[in-house]
Amino acid sequence: MLKEKLKNHRIILASGSPRRQQFFKDLNLDFEIHLKPVIEEYPERLNHFEITDYLAQLKALPFKNELKDNDILITSDTIVWHNKQALGKPKDEQDAFNMIQSMSGQTHEVITSICFTSVDFQKTVNNITQVTFKDLTDEEIWYYVKTFKPMDKAGAYGIQDWIGLIGVAKLEGSYFNVMGMPVHLLYQTLLEIVN
């Protein structure tokens, strides 16, 4: 359905994330993947979804002068927000352990922003999911970090991994948002753009 509505547009996904790419395939969209390096830094004054909005828009900047009339560029960013700070990707195993341990027995938020950029407009939307972990033992956390190596994941975990299976006690909001893309919002926004 959406594929038909988008037939006159070229959808460009600027993400190396296999999970995000799979979501686009699962939506049955025709799309191209184009990657450009971006230093993911943001002003310290930003908080919460302001960070992901900013970074999603920042990732679109290198493409600005290359877009053609019917192109829709999609960029995205996800953070874990806990204790009033953003948890990005861990530096090493100890950092990953510390991040997960800090969230053990508590509720954190996963925030994803999606930025849609064309020649004529830019629209940014975001989604927030609340995730509550059970009390995790140090042994469980180390097992996860050593076995699953979650170095490429915001907050040092993937909900679809072992830690999500054994550790997530409660979830409010979009499960797919925690995986890195609120697919319902992607679908809805693309429909709004082409209608």
**Active-site residue numbers?**
77
CB 133 within 8 A of CB 169: yes
First CA to last CA distance, the chain = 12
SS3 184: helix
CB-based contact 162:136 (threshold 8 Å): no
DSSP 53-94: HHHHHHHHGGGTTT--TTEEEEEEEEEEEETTEEE-S-SSHH
Helix (H, G, I), strand (E, B) or coil at 130: strand
Taking the C-alpha atoms of residue 159 and residue 177, their distance in angstroms, rounded to an integer, is 10
Half-sphere exposure of 119 (CA within 13 A, CB side): 8
